[in-house]
Chain A
Amino acid sequence: MLLKQHDKESLQRDNSVLQVRNLKKYFPIASPFGRVSGHVKAVESVSFDLFESRTLGLVGESGCGKSTTGRSILRLIEPSDGSVIYKGEDVLKLKQKQFQKYRREMQMVFQDPHSSLNPKKRIGELIEEPMEIHKIGTKSERMERAMDLLRRTGIREDQYFRFPHEFSGGQRQRIGIARALAVDPSVIVLDEPVSALDVSIQSQVLNLLEEIQDEFKLSYLFISHDLSVVRHIADEIGVMYLGHMVEKAPTDDLFANPLHPYTQALLSAIPIPDRKQRRERIIIKGDVPSPIDPPKGCVFHTRCPFAMEQCKTVTPVMQQHSTGHEVACHLY
């Protein structure tokens, strides 16, 4: 039995594609004369793993650092500290030039499908461009692949020469996904990929994402503030609050048994379609503290209904509560 448990864990470790450890991003606040007067602590020691063909959802309210985390991994924003290990190499230590070959492996899909496609380019060119940058294939091979990707993402091939403004939001997001797939990546950071879309279109795009995940063996980092969307697509969920990851658990586990008081409050905010069924809403008081000067100890203690004396001084660390279920809280 013990051996079996061990096997399971090592198997998981083997399939881990990307390991993020203690990722930090502080944005300096400069006065008009260039003197740094403080830091916005956007991401504070975030760690997680991405597994092959699996999805990690990152949830939290706006400003909690989930997008910054995603962008830091791709080095669109240079992280302040920490490591991102891909195929055994810490990609944050590489120079931009050396990192170039890893960009191929890590792609991104953006939130706003209207501004993420250059309006002056034909969609065919848009999909071919990443291949051109990474010098993949000949011109006709690239064109062939672009056509193929259009078809797979549900756009007719004869739309190849059209401009982005001729498509709807959902179609544009499909084009954005096709562009991310063009260079055959293994990790895709999805930054709120469906939140700008209509609900009916959301599910179509989510289904597409699930289809291609199996087909291309992709690991997703799915950033969203919409819990029901994340519940649908993610295998594992990380909850973030004020730059910290406060809880991480397999999706079903998290919804069935939320441990952190913040997660509990967050889950209680999901509306229930049935009017008769009432649920006790946990309403947290006050505003999110400023990330410039976050509270000492546990960042949530200023609003936590269960705050203890210990919470004000000692920062809780992530601890395994049950298999795969980690929480950073003094209650456990």
Chain B
Amino acid sequence: MVITNDAQVNELSLLEKNVKKERRKLLVKRFVSNKTLVTGTAMLVFLTLFSFAGPLISQFSPLDIDPANRLQGPTAEHWFGTDNFGRDLFSRVASGAQVSMGVGLSVAVLTAIIGMVIGLYAAYYSILDHVLMRFSDALMAFPDILLAIAIMAVLGPQPVNVVIAVTLAKIPVVARIVRSSALVIKEQTYIEAMRAQGASSWRIIWRHILPNTVSPLIVQVTYVFAIAIILEAALSFLGAGVPAPDPSWGNILFDGKIVIYNAWWMTVFPGAFIVLAVLALNLFGDGLRDLLDPHSNKAIKE
């Protein structure tokens, strides 16, 4: 058969297109039938919209102080009320969402990339494994929050430093997940088959082991995303996170702590959003795990 023939090339690309279309249809079907995933995704979409559209809808800037109207409850004007400096809480929570979720997302992406590289190479080279895993044991032996505070103390309170601190605390978790699934994949016959072909380690690691560890990695990373939001909030609450006056869910909570008995809205609204975001990510992660697991095909409803 000669493929240089134009008609045959067309036929082939048409075939590829059809197969891909078929697969996409199946994926959409599985996505829709997965209620957890749909709920989680919807909540995440809502939160993203809220964080970007919120500051635009609101007529108040999150940083404008208005001492005459301090600590007012939710009204038609100030939907979430005002804080102890008279700043509009709705716009603060909305732009706080940008900061908190931004930190969470950056941490998720960074831990995914770094953890993946460490995990893959640790699984492949056993000497490297011993070294890297002892490092990660050491990191994991510290409580996350303590480690993050220590790093923040060294680097200074900056949103970027929050990302660095939380990333460092969470890399071992992701690296271990990738390593453990890579260790299983490494022993599969198809890896031996590649070795029999004389494939380079680079090819085996990146082209054969990596694609098979991606699903547990993605699932784990969504959980890291959620934990990063909580850690950021905790750090900001303790005063070691995003510095005032920039809003983040954590430091709004911190401001609200003093007035918790007379201004419930300052605690409830940012708190509710933290819960919402973490819940959304956990649902998303669970749903994603079901979607990526090939054995869950039976979950499709006709």
Total chain A interface residues with beta-carbon distance under 8 A: 37
How far is A183 from B198 in the complex, measured between Cα atoms in Å?
A: 12
A144 lies within 8 A of B2 (CB) = yes
Q: Which of A76, A165, A176 contacts B294 (CB 8 A)?
A: A165
Chain B at the A interface: SS class: helix
A160 lies within 8 A of B15 (CB) = yes
Which chain B residues border A143 with CB–CB below 8 Å?
Answer: 3
B1 CB–A CB distance under 8 Å: yes
A147 CB–B CB distance under 8 Å: yes
Q: Which of A103, A151, A160 contacts B196 (CB 8 A)?
A: A103
A120 lies within 8 A of B196 (CB) = no
A162 lies within 8 A of B3 (CB) = no
Closest to B214 in A: A120
A162 lies within 8 A of B196 (CB) = no
Total chain B interface residues with beta-carbon distance under 8 A: 26
Known: A112-B189, A117-B190, A161-B15. A130 touches B1 (CB 8 A): no
Which chain A residues border B197 with CB–CB below 8 Å?
Answer: 103, 129-130, 133-134, 183
Which chain A residues border B294 with CB–CB below 8 Å?
Answer: 119, 165
Which chain B residues border A117 with CB–CB below 8 Å?
Answer: 190, 193
Which chain B residues border A183 with CB–CB below 8 Å?
Answer: 197
B193 lies within 8 A of A108 (CB) = yes
Closest to A157 in B: B1
B19 lies within 8 A of A162 (CB) = yes
How far is A140 from B1 in the complex, measured between Cα atoms in Å?
A: 12
A116 lies within 8 A of B198 (CB) = no
- Least distance between B133 CB and chain A CB atoms (Å): 17
Q: Which of B19, B192, B196, B203 contacts A161 (CB 8 A)?
A: B19
What string of 1s and 0s marks CB contacts (under 8 Å) between B169-200 and chain A?
A: 00000000000000000001110111111111
Closest to B297 in A: A165
B198 lies within 8 A of A133 (CB) = yes
- Least distance between B153 CB and chain A CB atoms (Å): 41
How far is A100 from B198 in the complex, measured between Cα atoms in Å?
A: 6
A110 CB–B CB distance under 8 Å: yes
- Least distance between B203 CB and chain A CB atoms (Å): 7
- Least distance between B144 CB and chain A CB atoms (Å): 33
Known: A140-B3, A140-B4, A144-B3. A179 touches B19 (CB 8 A): no
How far is A129 from B212 in the complex, measured between Cα atoms in Å?
A: 17
How far is A60 from B26 in the complex, measured between Cα atoms in Å?
A: 47
Known: A115-B188, A133-B197, A161-B15. A144 touches B1 (CB 8 A): yes
Chain A residues close to B by CB (< 8 Å): 74, 76, 99-100, 103-104, 107-108, 110-112, 115-121, 129-130, 133-134, 140, 143-144, 147-148, 151, 157-158, 160-162, 165, 176, 179, 183
Chain B residues close to A by CB (< 8 Å): 1-4, 12, 15-16, 19-20, 188-190, 192-200, 203, 208, 211-212, 294
